[in-house]
Structure 1
Amino acid sequence: MALIQMDIQTIVVGGGPVASLLVLKPRIPEEAPHDAQLPIKIGPVEAMAIGVGVNDSHRTTDRPMTHDLLNNVIESLGAHLDSVIISAVSGTTFFAQLRIEKEDGEAIFIDSRPSDAIALAVRTGAPIYARSDVLTTASYPDFKGVEKEEEEHEMEEFHKFVENLSPDDFA
């Protein structure tokens, strides 16, 4: 199954009854099965951990946070996080894998929640991938692209209309 590289588009940190949401989008939209965005419901603590990693503010803390600790353990064992893969979806539950690469090149795949995997990826710079079948199953279209196409079409129609105007049209 093809892997599509993803970027974080939005993180919404909820609270109380409001769920937090992470939205991923394909880095190269043409590679996705359709112009897709992948919404993943996550907890508010996990959303904060991802946000801290994205903003690089984890580097200013006196002590390592949980995901920094995990990265330190991986590196102390002579390995590194190679990538994160959003590997499956069942209902509204997503599954991910950490692809850890050892010094000898051997890859180890470790089951993970997407939120933890992505929090680790943003700290290490590891790429985030989603399987194309996950995108096909669980994504929604990027309506911004649809709106932009509609606006461009309307502008073309307006320009054609203006170009064909003559002074007699105003008499």
Structure 2
Amino acid sequence: MDIESIVVGGGPVASLIVLKTHDGPAALQLPIRIGSVEATAISMGVNPRQGSRPMTHDLLASTISALGGRCASVRIMAVQGTTFFAQLELVREGGEQVFVDARPSDALALAVREGLPIYAADDVLETAALPDFRGVEKDEEAHELEEFHNFVESLSPEDFNVIPGDKDPE
């Protein structure tokens, strides 16, 4: 999955991150409500500023690396109501995989900093994902254009009360 958009809310307006599938016949969007601080942290990872001090997620990535591990992926594993659950996949120096429970917002903040792949379990997508309506609109436009093309191709001069070879009456 890829991060499609990040909406940083304030006050009573919730923040939202939208993930988008990039494989399969029909793209899906997975909206996840997160806190505004977490949304800002993800945004800062997407658009890093030169010379800025390391954030908590930068520290976490540096610590994992200093201990001989590396971050491998982020997995959105479950959803209960409006609460999502994620795991961070780490790989130790010897190749052993370790899965660490994480909030999706923290895992995604680390993913954007480290360039990690993001996955969502099929049951999460079945439960909480929405169709990418932009793709649906494009399909509808293509279908309408095809119908119009077929209509134009089926026209004949008789459809316009024009007899071939007759001069314009004007």
Q: Would you say 1:166 and 2:161 are equivalent positions?
A: no
1:12 aligns with 2:7: yes
- Aligned partners of 2:123, 2:52: CA distance in 1, in Å? 41
1:92 matches 2:82: yes
Say whether 1:105 aligns with 2:100. no
How far the C-alpha of 1:160 sits from its partner, in A, is: 1.2
Distance in 2 separating the partners of 1:25 and 1:161: 36
- Identity of aligned pairs, percent? 64
Does structure 2 retain, via aligned residues, the 8 Å contact 1:86–1:97?
Answer: yes
Aligned ranges 1:35-114 → 2 under 5 Å? 35-57=27-49, 60-114=50-104
The question of 1:157 aligning with 2:152 is answered: no
Structure 2 SS opposite 1:28 = coil
Structure 2 CA distance, aligned partners of 1:151 and 1:55? 34
TM-score by length of 1: 0.89
8 Å contact from structure 1 (residues 29, 36) kept in 2: no
Q: CA shift at 1:142, angstroms?
A: 1.3
Report which of the two structures shows the higher radius of gyration computed on alpha carbons: 2
Offset at residue 166 of structure 1 (A): 2.9
Structure with more contact order per residue of length (Cα contacts < 8 Å, sep ≥ 6): 1
Letter in 2 for 1:109: F
The CA deviation at 1:126 is 1.1
Could you tell me how far 1:167 is from its partner in structure 2? Answer: 3.5
CA deviation after TM superposition for structure 1 residue 63, in Å: 2.1
- Cα pair 1:46 1:115 within 8 Å, conserved: yes
Partner deviation per Cα, 1:56-99 (whole Å, 9 max, x = no partner): 33xx2342111101111111101011111101100000000111
Cα contact 1:79–1:100 (8 A) shared by 2: yes
User: Please, what TM-score do these two structures have when normalized by structure 2?
Assistant: 0.89
Instruction: Indicate the RMSD between aligned Cα atoms, in angstroms.
Output: 1.3
Paired amino acid for 2:19: L
Once residues 112 and 61 of structure 1 are traced to their aligned partners in structure 2, the CA distance between those partners, rounded to angstroms, is 28
Structure 1 SS opposite 2:119: strand
Number of residue pairs matched by the alignment? 161
Per the alignment, residue 131 of structure 2 pairs with 141
1:126 equivalenced with 2:113 (yes/no): no
Counterpart Cα distance in 2 of 1:72 and 1:17 = 34
Provide the residue aligned with 2:18 in structure 1: 23
Equivalent AA in structure 1 for residue 44 of structure 2 = V
Structure 1 unaligned regions, length at least 5? 1-5
